Structure 1
Amino acid sequence: MTGDVWQQIFTFDDYGELLALVHNSLIAGAVLGLVGGVIGTFVMMRDLAFAVHGVAELSFAGASAALLLGVNVAAGSLAGSIVAALIIGALGVRAKDRNSVIGILMPFGLGLGVLFLALYKGRAANKFGLLTGQIVAVDTVQMSWLVGTSVVVLVALAVIWRPLVFASLDPDVAAARGVPVGILSPVFMVLLGLTVAVSIQVVGALLVLALLVTPAAAAMRITASPLRVTLLSVAFAVTSVVGGILLALGSSVPISPYVTTISFTLYLACRAVGGVRAR
């Protein structure tokens, strides 16, 4: 019995032939690791880990609605994420208010998503993939959405990088120095919404935190420099996603457990290193 379970988790039969089928997924994983690692740094700086989950739930609802209606799932996911980002950015000025809004949005978005999936009569794999991710479902159209959206997010972050770092580390001083803190917040939330939407296509709605939060949290355990945190976060995120795809290939287990396990292992290692250095 144990041997059968182990074989389901790690099976490398016909690995070479299967590897050719996930070419797009490997590229998508690397792109997601890049954009997720970069924006994850600001997620941790701005204490928005809870917001990532809230945006993911409405993104899931949008993707589920698109699946039910037979339209582009990526577009539905993007629409749901943008709506969630705008609501959180507009109503959640203070951390207490923001968390309350997210706590209200999360069950609402998840409930809508479950309703739409219950009404959907298509393949069960499509339903399951929205929640836990898929490694062979990244076609050319989805790749175009993913790469295009990721480029928009990265370019926008490059443009606002310095004021966003300043506003994230010390918003009061930044505002006193003339940094448009009030504008940067909703702009960043929209960029976060776009990132969450494209991430769901590969890692699923339930485990998107492993891509947008854990790598940056791990990096912050071993360095305080925003630049080094970003570089390490990108490296950890790419390793988690691409490594998860390679491990999941050929097994009957979804990609998500592999991605989260690698990401969590990196976090534990960084926490241990940080603890040793602190002593």
Structure 2
Amino acid sequence: MPLSADVIPPSWSWNIVADFQQMWSYPFMVNAFRAGAIVAVVAAVTGWFVVLRRQTFAAHTVSAVAFPGAAGAVLLGFGAAYGYFTLCVAAALVIAAVRGGGDGEESALTGTVQAFLLACGFLFIALYRGLLEGPQAILFGTFLGITTTQVTVLLCVGIAVLAVLALIGRPLLFASVDPRVAAARGVPVRALSVVFLVLLGAATAEASQITGTLLVFALMVMPAATARAVTARPAVSLALAVLFSLTAIWMGLIAAYYAPYPLGFFVTSFAFSGYVLTLGVRALHGSLSSRGVAA
């Protein structure tokens, strides 16, 4: 299997069935597809609310601090997953705590903390001299070495996140669309915001283990943004976001299997291509509609 650019990757043939059978003969690839499916669903559902609530900056901050969290955990002798979840959830709580201030104050504080923690992450990498392939895997993601235990952990976290989102989904949707009216009708807008940010932290920590900390933000936002560009109907756009996310991750896994390049690059490229294609189709449709009206 390809571990670096110097290793010759497997070759693709025109026998698709045989190619998939050969690829799935490796247990780590089976685990990668399972983990990818879990991450895709959780990231898409969470990201749909992120886009709806216009909290992309918060999502970017949470994803950025996953890097120092993972690096710090490795430095202390723990697994990177512990660092992902600890610092992502902690960052979400910090953002929730400062949301009472003005937008400028909130942005300045979160941006400052984000920059400081990123610097700490690179310091942790430098201090832990035994870390060789670690920085690339943490930053850009990898499908190598995913174990059944990790898949189980991702599944448990994913079920918990989706269960809570299902429980608070209707009031969260109301509070996201019109928070003032929701608050006037007794919806606990502030509490819902805090709970959602914690869920965002958990979902980000989960997705970072597949896409890497630098690119998880793209997976969290682009499929949801693409779906909302297709339709404004909540149920349909949410289903489309999950479909686009699954497609990006599974196509990314296939491409990364046959090419010695980071998984996160392929996942992000497919997700971005879908977004650009959707905008192009919308623009073309709008142009044709305008010409039809003019005629």
TM-score by length of 2: 0.87
Q: Deviations over 1:14-55 (max 9, x none)?
A: 965444331101111111111111111100011111211211
Distance in structure 2 (CA, Å) of the matches to 1:192 and 1:230: 16
Match in the other structure for 1:194: 202
Match in the other structure for 2:138: 130
Displacement of 1:113 in angstroms is 1.0
Distance in structure 1 (CA, Å) of the matches to 2:266 and 2:8: 13
Match in the other structure for 1:230: 238
Displacement of 1:114 in angstroms is 0.8
Match in the other structure for 1:41: 48
Structure 2 gaps, min length 5: 288-295
Match in the other structure for 2:157: 149
Distance in structure 1 (CA, Å) of the matches to 2:11 and 2:205: 30
1:162 aligned onto 2:167 = no
Distance in structure 1 (CA, Å) of the matches to 2:261 and 2:24: 16
Q: Deviations over 1:55-102 (max 9, x none)?
A: 112222111111112212211110000110000011023543332232
Displacement of 1:235 in angstroms is 0.6
Match in the other structure for 1:88: 95
Match in the other structure for 1:248: 256
Distance in structure 2 (CA, Å) of the matches to 1:256 and 1:81: 19
Distance in structure 2 (CA, Å) of the matches to 1:262 and 1:79: 29
In the alignment, is the contact (CA less than 8 A) between 2:125 and 2:131 conserved in 1? no
Match in the other structure for 2:292: none
1:209 aligned onto 2:213 = no
Distance in structure 2 (CA, Å) of the matches to 1:165 and 1:34: 18
Aligned residues: 274
TM-score by length of 1: 0.92
Distance in structure 2 (CA, Å) of the matches to 1:167 and 1:8: 52
1:172 aligned onto 2:177 = no
Question: Could you tell which deviates more after superposition, 7-16 or 222-231?
Answer: 7-16
Paired letter, 2:233:
S
Q: Structure 2 vs 1, CA of residues 74 and 270 (structure 1 numbering), >3 Å: closer, same or farther?
A: same
Match in the other structure for 2:290: none
Structure 1 gaps, min length 5: none
1:65 aligned onto 2:43 = no
In the alignment, is the contact (CA less than 8 A) between 1:44 and 1:216 conserved in 2? yes
Distance in structure 1 (CA, Å) of the matches to 2:239 and 2:22: 33
Name the SS of the counterpart of 1:135 in structure 2.
Answer: coil
Paired letter, 1:212:
M
Identity of aligned residues (%): 37
Q: Deviations over 1:242-279 (max 9, x none)?
A: 11011110321111111111001100111122223444
Q: Structure 2 vs 1, CA of residues 250 and 120 (structure 1 numbering), >3 Å: closer, same or farther?
A: farther
Paired letter, 2:182:
A
Match in the other structure for 1:115: 123
Larger radius of gyration: 2
Displacement of 1:11 in angstroms is 4.7
Name the SS of the counterpart of 1:74 in structure 2.
Answer: helix
Paired letter, 1:61:
P
